[in-house]
Amino acid sequence: MRMQGKVAVVTGGGSGYGAGIARKFAAEGAQVVIADIRPAAAEEVAREIDGMALTVDVGQGASVADMARAVLDRFGRIDVLVNNAGVTHPPGPLEEVEEAEFDRVFRINAKSVYLMARHVVPAMKAAGKGVILNIGSGAGVSPRPRLAWYNSSKGWMNIATKSMALELAPHGIRVNIINPVSGDTPMLSQFMGGDSAELRAGFMASIPLGRFSTPEDVAHAAVYLCSDESGLVTGAALMVDGGRTI
């Protein structure tokens, strides 16, 4: 029970990687808060793991503040924060991506990390400990074509992780990032601009181990980085990518 007694918040926890992380954390003994913009999805996962479901728009400051307040009111602390919520834009030439799509990608993928830090870090500092885990992407390390602004938002998360880790280390707070390869999750068709055997084969060809990631792959890595087993690990970028970025 590597997460026994820990209070963990997982954003975007209603599906995909977030749901996988939430399930694994609960199995390892954590009390898990599923924070998602989709109430029904959050509640479904929360019922399954006996967790707490909260509706939150991670790109909107007041919504994040309300979420943090609700968790602290119920549990008195936040031991682990997983910034998993993320979106992409339709693949295409970088100059043809609509401004609204660009703004949405950076609001959810980048601004959310700032907002969550703004409203969760003070409680971690007061406790003198905490763990923040950002879920990035292999595309933020080795960009994929026609996804320029998504790639950039995930690249931003890598340097944000290191900056946060450096500044928060004196307060006992560790910050790391997992960069997965494309996963067989609801977002896969968005990355590919559709879903077909041909598109999947094209994406798969770039992965040396020959398969997409799964929520379980990411969850196993998340437990390590968020448990006391990784007590001396901060500022690390763990590639869960089947070798794609080698």
Give the residue numbers annotated as catalytic, written as ranges. Answer: 150
**The length of the chain, given as a count of residues:** 246
Q: Annotate 60-91 with DSSP letters as a single string.
A: -HHHHHHHHHHHHHHHS---EEEE-------S
Letter string b/e over residues 128-152, b meaning 16 or more CB atoms within 10 A of that residue's CB: eebbbbbbbbbbbbbbbebbbbbbb
Six-digit token string for 72? 């602290």
Short-list 145, 170, 167, 136, CA closest to 240? 136
What whole-number distance in Å separates Cα of residue 148 and Cα of residue 81?
27
Distance CA(87)–CA(38), nearest Å, equals 14
Cα angle 100-55-15, degrees, rounded to a multiple of 5:
80
Q: Tokens for 37?
A: 């913009």
Cβ proximity of 82 and 36 under 8 Å: no
Structure tokens at 33: 């808060």
Element (H, E) at 189: helix 188-192
User: Which of 79, 73, 76, 74 has the alpha carbon at shortest distance from 2?
Assistant: 79
Tokens 């728009």 sit on residue: 57
